[in-house]
């Protein structure tokens, strides 16, 4: 489905441990690509569309810890379906570069590896939302979740419903990303987010360069 739709656009996902520095990395990539004259769309999950942002508020609200696992999974799926249809496919079709702060790998990490929902159920919901679509590359910023949460707290941000989970939950999610990366090395690049900002930026740019080369973008 994807290749017929797209001419030159491609999609990069920045994902990984909470507090690992996704926002800074996304800004670095955005600037780098804009300097090359490319049209860049920054987006995020859950969210990225008006409907998706409303769903995000419901999912992450720390005042409703009673949300059941399947509700959570379906809400992430619903936000993703809207995101792909309303924003991602149209942008790629116009030849833009889409950079998303989290995407479908997060559902495998958090809802399967951490929450424990069986893979079959995860795939059913994800497949419905994705409809054959897959991003070109997932950059996984890997960090000890204890360090990540300290960073979130230092930034003065309150913890959302997911970050309010036990440390074990976040550790399982982290390992979920590492497992996915081992299983699909052509779609995942893991970057050690405990390195300095400059080192992380250098590594990320080399991933972007390889992707551009692969896409024969320039």
Give the footprint of ligand TMP on this chain (CB under 6 A).
18, 44-46, 76, 101-102, 106-107, 110-111, 162-163
**Smallest distance, ligand TMP to C-beta of residue 8, A:** 26
Identity of the residue, 96 or 102, whose beta carbon is nearer to ligand TMP in the bound complex? 102
Cβ nearer to ligand TMP, comparing 38 with 99: 99
Query: At a CB cut-off of 8 Å and minimum separation 6, what does 36 contact?
Result: 212, 218
- The count of other CB atoms within 10 Å of the CB of residue 142 is 18
* Beta sheet of 188-192, edge-to-edge order: 40-44, 97-101, 10-16, 137-142, 188-192
Q: Name the minimum Å distance from CB 102 to ligand TMP.
A: 4
Helix axes 145-154, 167-183, angle to 10 degrees: 120
Query: Which is nearer to ligand TMP, 9 or 46 (by Cβ)?
Result: 46
Instruction: Name the residue with the smallest CB distance to ligand TMP.
Output: 110
Q: Spell 52-73 as b/e; 16+ CB within 10 A means b.
A: beebbebbbeeeeeeeeeeebb
Q: How far is the CB of 204 from ligand TMP (least distance, A)?
A: 17
Task: Give least dist CB 60 to ligand TMP, A.
Answer: 6
Cβ nearer to ligand TMP, comparing 18 with 189 = 18
């Amino acid at each position: 489905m994807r290749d017929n739709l797209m001419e030159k656009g491609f999609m990069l996902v920045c994902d990984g441990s909470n507090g690992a520095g996704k926002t800074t990395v996304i800004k670095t990539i955005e600037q780098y690509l804009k300097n090359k004259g490319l049209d860049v769309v920054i987006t995020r999950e859950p969210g990225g569309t008006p409907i998706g942002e409303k769903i995000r508020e419901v999912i992450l609200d720390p005042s409703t810890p009673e949300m059941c696992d399947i509700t959570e999974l379906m809400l992430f799926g619903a936000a993703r379906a809207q995101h792909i249809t309303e924003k991602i496919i149209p942008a790629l079709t116009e030849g833009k570069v889409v950079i998303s702060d989290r995407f479908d790998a997060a559902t495998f990490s958090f809802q399967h590896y951490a929450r424990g929902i069986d893979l079959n159920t995860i795939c059913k919901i994800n497949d419905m939302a994705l409809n054959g679509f897959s991003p070109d590359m997932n950059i996984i910023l890997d960090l000890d979740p204890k360090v990540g949460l300290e960073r979130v707290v230092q930034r003065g941000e309150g913890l959302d419903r997911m970050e309010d989970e036990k440390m074990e939950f976040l550790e399982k999610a982290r390992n979920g990303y590492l497992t996915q990366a081992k299983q699909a090395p052509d779609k995942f690049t893991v970057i050690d987010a405990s390195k300095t900002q400059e080192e992380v930026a250098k590594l990320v740019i080399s991933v972007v360069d390889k992707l551009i080369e692969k896409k024969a973008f320039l």
